[in-house]
Chains A and B, each alone.
Chain A
Amino acid sequence: MTTALYFLRAKQLGFTIDELEDLDEGLVLDMAIESANDKEEYDIIATQADRDAF
């Protein structure tokens, strides 16, 4: 990931550069990944019946 893309992701998460001074890059990257995970869509989603069968 380039610095520009990394900073874009950090800004999308709402961080200012001063706030980034108090965090590790790993945490910000983890948050960007989790944010993308929240928006992930699936073709098939398990129903309650599937979960019971499992």
Chain B
Amino acid sequence: MTITLNLETEAGPAEKKFTANAATAIRYKQLFGADLGIALGKLLEQADMSMLQSIQNEKVTTDEINPEMMQILIWLTTSGLSDTIKKLAYIENMQAEKADLPRLSEDDYIEWLELFPALELLRNAASIVGLYIGQKAGTAIPKKEVARRNEG
């Protein structure tokens, strides 16, 4: 699954592609040594997608700041959850660009982060997280679970 986001970059507005697929969580673990499922679980325990969507279309300017949005952005930053979102965005962008992911390092990630104004990726958290969660949905049901449900 691939999406295109119009993002503000330090060089001006730019279209960036993001891809999430069955390898995303593995690439995340390979590069950052952390479990994406656990990290996102923590995020979604504390913030639902509607909260992230509420800041999606807000513009971040220094002269006009929506206080509710700022509260969410500050909370994402101070809780450490912003790190998960930015790292996921990096993996998704590298997958879309067909980068040689096993060769990427945390230094490459930090260099990539410098392309964007501080809050730009967080402002688009709903799309970045939603892309990954959307391709995770399945329909199969374990037979054991069906049997348990029928017994009850």
Chain A interface residues toward B at CB < 8 A: 1-4, 6-7, 10, 15, 17-18, 20-31, 33-34, 36-37, 40, 42
Contacts and interface: CB of A to CB of B under 8 A. Distances in A.
A40 B136 CA distance: 24
A36 B144 CA distance: 9
Greatest chain A CB density within 10 A among B22, B26, B95 is at B22
A20 B37 CA distance: 17
A21 B2 CA distance: 12
Given A20-B21, A24-B1, A25-B21, A3 B26 contact: yes
A33 B29 CA distance: 23
A40 B144 contact: yes
26 contacts: A1-B37, A3-B25, A3-B36, A6-B26, A7-B26, A10-B22, A18-B23, A20-B21, A20-B22, A21-B21, A23-B21, A24-B1, A24-B21, A24-B22, A24-B135, A25-B136, A26-B136, A26-B139, A29-B136, A30-B139, A33-B140, A33-B141, A36-B142, A37-B140, A40-B143, A40-B144
B35 A17 contact: no
Given A27-B22, A27-B138, 11 more contacts: A3-B35, A10-B22, A20-B22, A23-B22, A24-B21, A24-B136, A25-B135, A36-B143, A37-B140, A40-B144, A42-B147
Contacts of B139: 26, 30
Interface of B: 1, 21-26, 28-29, 35-38, 95, 135-144, 147
A34 B139 CA distance: 10
